[in-house]
């Protein structure tokens, strides 16, 4: 459910009974969870981190903060974007009232917030709500906004609903759990449940969280968090690049995982699959490398192909070699065919740089490899200003249409999807786009279908670096490219733009490197099949 700003007034306050209202005691019961001078507390921030990674929550609470990585440029950008997004939304809720209290003195913050709620102010920014559990632990909720609504509460004919402002486009489950947590704690303060809890997302929409549905899940996560954080030992390391790469504890965790040769460093070993492998006592690379795939295939989330891939992955890492994939039906090696890697006198290698937050494609990079002339020419078709996106797109289209027979190699589906989207947006003729897309060859799909490599991820950098290719700028990546583009827009310093072009060219050349290696690796198998 979504609604446009501002939040509509609601009559009624929901059908659930509130949790009992508590007084704020001056003496607190001792607890292993201590996060502020107020005493034993578990904050919504800690609960959010726990959903992402129980180890991260533990480290945030008890870890040596001198061991944290400095924030990356991209993390700083996300924080600034989040702040800008919040400020833009808060303009819809004026005037704003702010409780004044010493930093992390949650009792003082809750007292100041309750005073504002009792006065019946319309909008409270960064209020503090507390709920004490049976063990004396304070649950600390700090929703971005508390909005006054008609209804019955301990103060009279008004109550409050919470809003959390998030930079994401979708109401992710972990967002919804924290929104439910806000409602759960708020019910204590005002003596009645809010009808819902809201998420203010990107693009100016409000999402109403289904509290009835999410409350049982929130209780489960909350209890797990309390229990895990009370333990004396740190949770086991588990590396998942999709959620770990921006974490400031990453370097320490990654070093430990490498030292242990932890199975989470194998592509395809998800937390759910790892739990099944643990139950079978397959917790080392060596043990997994000699496992029978038929034993793993029936497990939930595995199947025949995944089971075979994981065993091959362990073998590849253990032996540090590339292993041809086998057909799941014939078990013959290397199902990749020459037609999957078409060769031509001229080949194009294509990579895009884009800023999703701006819905902007700011660079189409194309490496033109002419095998007859023995030349390699890189073309950077760049939008130096956001309003030049169409111009860069049309330059790209003119370039690739000059080579109607050339295969267009790219890495992952994004480039093909983006070409199709831009063609629709800018009205490119179908008679040009359809034949062009038919020439696209996804090198990522080719290599993952054909071979298992001794690497931690089948991302472009992991594959190319194992094959001996190196980027000229060690810290360059897609996220850094976005930061460089922002810096270019703000400063006009062309060193940032040059860094983007250099990185993009290296991505194109890495794709060429991988394709060339794969064709050479496959050649003996193709010859056997002739």
Task: Please give the residue that has the higher pLDDT: either 288 or 20.
Answer: 288
What's phi and psi for 307, nearest 5 deg? -60, -45
pLDDT for residue 525: 78
Let me know whether 458 and 387 are in one domain: yes
pLDDT tens-place string over residues 92-136 = 998 999 999 998 899 999 999 999 999 999 999 999 999 988 778
Work out the end-to-end distance of the chain between its first and last CA atoms, rounded to an integer number of angstroms: 58
Q: CATH number of the domain that 369 lies in?
A: 3.30.420.10
Report yes or no on 71 lying in a domain: no
**Mean pLDDT throughout 24-38?**
38
Let me know whether 219 and 129 are in one domain: yes
Report yes or no on 72 lying in a domain: no
| Final residue belonging to a domain, choices 214, 229, 244 | 229
Let me know whether 394 and 525 are in one domain: yes
Residues with Cβ within 8 Å of residue 413, at least 6 apart in sequence: 442
**Mean pLDDT throughout 233-248?**
91
Q: Is the pLDDT of residue 145 over 80?
A: yes
Token pair recorded at residue 518: 């794969």
Q: How far apart are CA 334 and CA 529, in angstroms?
A: 10
Among 153-167, 320-334, 506-520, the minimum mean pLDDT is found in: 320-334
| Final residue belonging to a domain, choices 229, 247, 272 | 229
In SS3 terms, 3-65 reads as: EECCCCCCCCCCCCCCCCCCCCCCCCCCCCCEEECCEEEEEHHHHHHHHHCHHHHHHHHHCCH
Angle between helices 211-229 and 44-52 (to 10 degrees): 90
The total number of structural domains that make up the chain: 3
Q: CATH number of the domain that 295 lies in?
A: 1.10.150.20
Report yes or no on 195 lying in a domain: yes
Residue 338 pLDDT class (50, 70, 90 cuts): confident
CA geometry: angle 238, 273, 220, nearest 5 deg: 75
pTM: 0.85
Let me know whether 292 and 363 are in one domain: no
Let me know whether 357 and 294 are in one domain: no
Report the DSSP beta bridge partners of residue 364: 352, 381
Helix H or strand E segment including 312: helix 304-319
Residues with Cβ within 8 Å of residue 20, at least 6 apart in sequence: 188
In SS3 terms, 64-96 reads as: CHHHCCCCCHHHHHHHHHHHHHHHHHHCCCCCC
Task: Please give the residue that has the higher pLDDT: either 152 or 28.
Answer: 152
Let me know whether 464 and 364 are in one domain: yes
Report yes or no on 247 lying in a domain: no
Percent of the chain scoring above 90 in pLDDT: 79
Q: Is the pLDDT of residue 202 over 80?
A: yes
Report yes or no on 245 lying in a domain: no
pLDDT tens-place string over residues 92-104 = 998 999 999 998 8
pLDDT for residue 327: 56
pLDDT for residue 529: 57
Let me know whether 282 and 317 are in one domain: yes
Q: How far apart are CA 517 and CA 521, in angstroms?
A: 6
Helical H segments across 362-493, by residue range? 389-401, 414-426, 430-438, 443-450, 460-466, 478-491
Q: Is the pLDDT of residue 343 over 90?
A: no
**Mean pLDDT throughout 160-188?**
96
Among 198-202, 325-329, 475-479, 519-523, the minimum mean pLDDT is found in: 325-329
pLDDT for residue 8: 43
Report yes or no on 32 lying in a domain: yes
**Mean pLDDT throughout 320-348?**
78
What's phi and psi for 31, nearest 5 deg? -155, 150
Mean pLDDT across the chain? 89
Q: Is the pLDDT of residue 29 over 70?
A: no
pLDDT for residue 27: 31
Let me know whether 422 and 517 are in one domain: yes
Q: Is the pLDDT of residue 25 over 60?
A: no
Let me know whether 279 and 202 are in one domain: no
pLDDT for residue 39: 55
Let me know whether 267 and 216 are in one domain: no
Q: Which residue has the tokens 């709920």?
A: 131
Distance of CA 120 to the CA centre of its chain: 39
The string of DSSP codes covering 479-524 is HHHHHHHHHHHHH--HHHHHHHHHHHHHHHHHHHHHHHHHHHHHHH
**Under 8 Å between Cβ of 198 and 209:** yes
**Under 8 Å between Cβ of 363 and 342:** no
Report yes or no on 215 lying in a domain: yes
**Under 8 Å between Cβ of 19 and 187:** yes
Q: CATH number of the domain that 194 lies in?
A: 3.90.320
Let me know whether 429 and 372 are in one domain: yes
Give residue 285's domain range: 262-321
pLDDT for residue 465: 97
Report yes or no on 520 lying in a domain: yes
**Under 8 Å between Cβ of 378 and 508:** yes
User: Could you tell me the CA-to-CA distances from 511 to 241, 370, 462 in Å, in that order?
Assistant: 21, 15, 12
Let me know whether 221 and 276 are in one domain: no
Residue 406 is given by DSSP the state -
């Amino acid at each position: 459910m979504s609604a446009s700003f501002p939040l509509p007034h609601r009559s009624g306050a929901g059908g659930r009974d509130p949790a009992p209202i508590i007084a704020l005691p001056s003496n607190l019961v001792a607890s292993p969870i201590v996060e502020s001078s107020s005493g034993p507390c578990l904050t919504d921030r800690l609960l959010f981190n726990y959903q992402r990674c129980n180890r991260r929550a533990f480290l945030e609470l008890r870890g040596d903060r001198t061991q944290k990585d400095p924030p990356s440029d991209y993390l700083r950008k996300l924080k600034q974007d989040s702040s800008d997004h919040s400020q833009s939304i808060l303009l819809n809720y004026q005037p704003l009232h702010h409780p004044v209290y010493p930093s992390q003195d949650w009792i003082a913050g809750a007292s100041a917030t309750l005073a504002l709620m009792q006065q019946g102010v319309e909008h409270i920014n960064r209020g503090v709500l507390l709920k004490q559990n049976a063990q004396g632990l304070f649950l600390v909720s700090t929703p971005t906004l508390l909005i006054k609504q008609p209804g019955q509460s301990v103060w009279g004919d008004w109550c409050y609903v919470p809003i959390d402002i998030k930079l994401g486009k979708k109401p992710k489950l972990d967002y919804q759990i924290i929104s439910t947590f806000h409602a759960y704690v708020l019910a204590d303060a005002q003596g009645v449940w809010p009808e819902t809890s809201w998420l203010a997302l990107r693009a100016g929409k409000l999402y109403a969280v289904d509290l009835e549905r999410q409350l049982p899940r929130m209780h489960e996560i909350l209890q797990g968090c309390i229990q895990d954080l009370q333990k004396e030992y740190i949770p086991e390391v588990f590396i998942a690049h999709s959620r770990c790469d921006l974490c400031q504890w990453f370097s320490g965790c990654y070093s430990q995982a490498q030292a242990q040769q932890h199975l989470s460093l194998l592509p395809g070993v998800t937390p759910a699959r790892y739990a099944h492998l643990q139950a079978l006592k397959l917790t080392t690379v060596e043990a997994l490398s000699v496992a029978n795939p038929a034993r793993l295939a029936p497990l939930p989330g595995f199947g025949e192909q995944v089971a075979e891939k994981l065993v091959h992955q362990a073998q590849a890492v253990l032996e540090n070699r590339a292993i041809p994939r086998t057909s799941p039906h014939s078990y013959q090696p290397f199902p990749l065919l020459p037609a999957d890697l078409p060769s031509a006198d001229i080949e194009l290698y294509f990579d895009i740089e884009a800023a999703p937050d701006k819905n902007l494609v700011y660079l189409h990079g194309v490496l033109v490899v002419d095998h007859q002339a023995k030349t390699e020419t890189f073309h950077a078709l760049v939008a130096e200003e956001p309003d030049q996106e169409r111009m860069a797109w049309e330059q790209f289209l003119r370039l690739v249409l000059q080579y109607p027979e050339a295969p267009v190699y790219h890495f992952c589906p994004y480039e093909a999807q983006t070409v199709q989207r831009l063609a629709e947006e800018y009205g490119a003729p179908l008679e040009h786009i359809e034949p062009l897309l038919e020439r696209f060859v996804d090198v990522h799909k080719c290599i993952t279908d054909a071979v298992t490599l001794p690497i931690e991820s089948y991302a472009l950098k992991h594959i190319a670096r194992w094959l001996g290719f190196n980027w000229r700028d060690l810290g360059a990546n897609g996220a850094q490219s976005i930061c460089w583009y922002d810096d270019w827009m703000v400063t006009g310093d062309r060193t940032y733009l040059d860094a983007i072009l250099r990185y993009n060219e290296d991505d194109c050349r890495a794709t060429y490197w991988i394709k060339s290696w794969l064709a050479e690796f496959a050649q003996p198998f193709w010859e056997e099949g002739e």
